Structure 1
Amino acid sequence: MRIFVTGASGWIGSAVTAELLGSGHRVVGLARSDAAAATIANLGAEVRRGGLDDLDALRAGAADSDGVVHLGYNHDFSRMADAAQTDLAAITALGETLAGSDRPLLIASGVAGLPGRPATERDTADPGVHPRVANANAALAFADRGVRTGIIRFAPTVHGDGDHGFVAVLVSVARERGVSAYIGDGGSWPAVHRLDAAELVRLALEKAPAASVLHAVAEPGVPTRDIAEAIARGLDLPVKSIPAEDAPAHFGWIGQFFGLDAHASSEHTRELLGWTPRHQGLIADLDAGYYLKG
């Protein structure tokens, strides 16, 4: 298949691009900048210039494809409403272009904010947690218009060598504060290795039915205390618990996420797609020193 990928140069997107190419698919990656275009080209994919707000580029990319993976998103937490509006417009443009074709359209979302322990693929996410949740729900509506839509809810931690996401921020906070902390008695974070997540995306493109909700979760809940202790081992720092009321001052913006106590199952996803995560877990990645460079 010829797959159009937004966010193809990003942390997850570059792994997805490599996975698709390695499995015999062709990839066209959306690139706003010269640097993004170079990354995509170096992976062996075609480049389509444009950004998420370039709806003509999105429509053209979707029209010239056998399916779309929409991973691009503006993660500027100071402009969440604007980012959500841009994302919704992009999803609408992609979905309308694919309407009536039965071609796949996969949209990235997250497991944060899901009810239940563990949360399953059948649970409905709370749009109040993040506006991206509402956009994912809007994408599912295109299943009624002849689009093989799928929502992939990624674990909050998609880890591996080179990750600059949440865990890397926690490492930076620990360095700055001189202590590796967790909140209260500690919660838990679902996690998935980047390469396992990329394989799931490929499998979903190839065989997930319309209106599928999938969980890119390998570890249902890694204790946040274990995460803090692993960071402490790597940086040779003490570990301590921070009261919840002191978390914003200690952690900054990431405190609201690190304070979550979330478990998420991927049992249905594994059964549906035959997906079996096989790469090492989050604590093993921390102990390998990937997050402690620099």
Structure 2
Amino acid sequence: MRIFVTGSTGFIGTELVNELIAAGHQVRGLTRSDAGEEQLKAVGAEVLRGDFTDLDCLRGGAKGMDAVVHLAFNHDDMAKFMQSATDEIAAIEALGSVLEPGKLLVVTSGIGMTAGAPGQARKETDPPAESQAVPRRPEQAAQAVAAKGVHVAVVRLPQVHDTRKQGLVTWLVGIAREKRVSAYVGDGANRWAAASLMDVSRLYHLAVEKTGAGVTTYHAVGEEGVSLREIAEVLGKGLGLPVISIPAEKAAEHFGPFLGHVSAMDMPAVSEWTQKALGWKPTGVGLIEDLSNMKY
């Protein structure tokens, strides 16, 4: 298959591009930098220089492809999160506009963007949430692409981790360093689902090869839920900092508006259907083990 990957030199994209090429696929990767170009060429990928906010570039990269995997998103500047969410919708629309019916678009969503009953683990059949606090709408944008006959896979990510990065937990590490405490909200019993980087990369690979018509939603979940108190405690130990509880009304002040909101969210999830549909079995280490082995 000919596959176009945005975010191809990022945390997940790097692993995925290597895996797809090893499986015999032809990969075109989008990158903004000289270093990214060198990285892609080194593994045998075709290079497209550009940015995921350049819609003409995206359309050119996706045209004629059998599949597109959209991983790119600007996580670097939380002050621009609303703009990044808007850019994401435009990117999905642009990519889908040039894919022929029967071709595949893989979009990236998140467990935290999924509606679920309080205290219950989110399932693949749960709909995307409508929340002003979390303005991303990748699944809704993908539905419009599917209406044109393009096959769509939605991959909902938990906290994806190795010993270098861990999704939202990476931001918790930075805040703990800045504030000189490792904090959780309330009793810290709320949970975040998690999965190892290698397991997630393998799921994307299987989704590319096995997704059929319509919209198919997958959960890239290895662990149903790890409590925020447990996360804060292992971060405190690694950083040599005290671990404290803060009241919910102080969460935004301590963590910032966005992370203050999600730090109190209970976001467990399951992946039984995904595992059966794709023949995917997560085998990587758990989040706490990776955090314990991280070089702080």
Answer whether TM exceeds 0.5 for this pair. Answer: yes
Partner of 1:83 in structure 2? 84
Between 1:86-95 and 1:185-194, the stretch displaced more is 86-95
> How far off its partner does 1:164 sit?
6.6
1:229 is matched by which residue type in structure 2?
A: E
2:245 aligns with one of 217, 241, 247: 241
CA contact 2:274–2:280 (8 Å) conserved in 1: yes
2:212 is matched by which residue type in structure 1?
A: P
In the alignment, the residues of structure 1 paired with residue 145 and residue 171 of structure 2 have an alpha-carbon distance, to the nearest angstrom, of 36
CA contact 1:152–1:215 (8 Å) conserved in 2: yes
> How far off its partner does 1:4 sit?
0.3
Between 1:163-172 and 1:58-67, the stretch displaced more is 163-172
Residues 1:41 and 1:131: Cα distance change in structure 2 (over 3 Å): farther
Q: Structure 2, unaligned stretches of length 5 or more?
A: none
State how 1:1-294 maps to structure 2 within 5 Å: 1-75=1-75, 76-100=77-101, 102-114=102-114, 115-116=116-117, 117-128=120-131, 129-133=133-137, 135-155=138-158, 157-163=159-165, 165-186=167-188, 187-210=190-213, 211-253=215-257, 254-290=259-295, 292=296
What count of residue pairs does the alignment treat as equivalent?
288
In the alignment, the residues of structure 2 paired with residue 79 and residue 168 of structure 1 have an alpha-carbon distance, to the nearest angstrom, of 18
Secondary structure of the residue aligned to 2:256 is helix
Between 1:194-203 and 1:17-26, the stretch displaced more is 17-26
CA contact 1:140–1:150 (8 Å) conserved in 2: no
Identity %: 44
Taking only aligned residues, the RMSD between alpha carbons, in angstroms, comes to 1.8
In the alignment, the residues of structure 2 paired with residue 74 and residue 166 of structure 1 have an alpha-carbon distance, to the nearest angstrom, of 13
CA contact 2:164–2:294 (8 Å) conserved in 1: no
Give me the TM-score of the superposition, normalised by structure 2.
0.91
Between 1:138-147 and 1:217-226, the stretch displaced more is 138-147
In the alignment, the residues of structure 1 paired with residue 277 and residue 136 of structure 2 have an alpha-carbon distance, to the nearest angstrom, of 24
Give me the TM-score of the superposition, normalised by structure 1.
0.91
Between 1:160-169 and 1:266-275, the stretch displaced more is 160-169
In the alignment, the residues of structure 1 paired with residue 179 and residue 80 of structure 2 have an alpha-carbon distance, to the nearest angstrom, of 27
Residues 1:172 and 1:96: Cα distance change in structure 2 (over 3 Å): closer
In the alignment, the residues of structure 2 paired with residue 96 and residue 162 of structure 1 have an alpha-carbon distance, to the nearest angstrom, of 36
In the alignment, the residues of structure 1 paired with residue 222 and residue 143 of structure 2 have an alpha-carbon distance, to the nearest angstrom, of 24
Q: Structure 1, unaligned stretches of length 5 or more?
A: none
**Runs ≥4 residues deviating over 6 A:** none
